[in-house]
Amino acid sequence: MQLALKIRDLRFARPEGFSITIRDFSLSVDEQVLLAGPSGCGKSTLLLLAAGLLDADSGEIELAGKSITDARGGRRDAIRADRVGMVFQTHHLLPGFTARENVSVPLLFGGIRPAEHAAIADPLLARLGISDPSVRVDRLSVGQQQRVAIARALVGNPAVVFADEPTAALDPENAATAVSLLKEICRERNAALLLTSHDPGLESAFSRVIRFDELAQTSEVLG
């Protein structure tokens, strides 16, 4: 069986002036996992490495059976576009564009014709409580913007979704709702989820919780 994410013997050292170092780190994910730990312990760095947005010094990373370790440029981008959805703390939505247009960005990279975008994006937005896909994202609340970001991450049916502190800018009620929706739709679409957070209140929502600050010392976790 192909795991959504498999990391073996990963090593990474930030350039001089940065403190994050990852040594001999291994991780397998094929379900919904919370990666917990305080800010600055390396959780975000690990997600960037796992998604191929940073280059590891050594080790092997596979996304749904496809190695991104030696892939470069367009080949790596294609693997990521096909297998990964990402939700960021600060959304990274395109201001001045509609909810539908923001969600459709991965479809463009996936070669889906623009004429088909609305039929794919709109039902997902509606599922997440965005009833008007033509609304500009800068007119939405922070919680609604995060829902658009979740829809964008899931629109391409990825094998794994990486969510980096997705609730940090939300109040507790919106945070709980966003995590619940993200987990539910990942289950519906058979996508694994690796979510990072320093909020201990989220731990009860996940059956598997990994404390990354402790792993930085033991250097290994397999699941």
Q: In the chain, how many domains are there?
A: 1
Cβ atoms of 36 and 211 closer than 8 Å = yes
151 in a domain, yes or no? Answer: yes
Range of the domain at 43: 5-218
Whether 150 is covered by a domain: the verdict is: yes
**Residue 223 placed within a domain:** no
Whether 174 is in a domain gets the answer yes
The beta-strand segments (E) located in 30-136 are 32-36, 58-63, 66-67, 84-87
pLDDT in tens, 38-76: 877 788 889 999 999 988 889 999 999 999 988 888 888
Evaluate whether residue 180 is within a structural domain: yes
Confidence tier at 115 by pLDDT (50, 70, 90): very high
107 lies in a domain?
A: yes
| 120 within domain boundaries | yes
- Largest Cα–Cα separation, the chain: 51
Question: For residue 181, what is the domain's CATH number?
Answer: 3.40.50.300
Report CA 3 to chain centroid distance, whole Å. Answer: 16
Q: What angle do CA 40, 44, 203 make, to 5 degrees?
A: 85
Q: Are 182 and 149 in contact (CB under 8 A)?
A: no
The pLDDT of residue 109: 78
Q: What is the pLDDT of residue 111?
A: 80
- Considering the entire predicted model, what is its pTM? 0.88
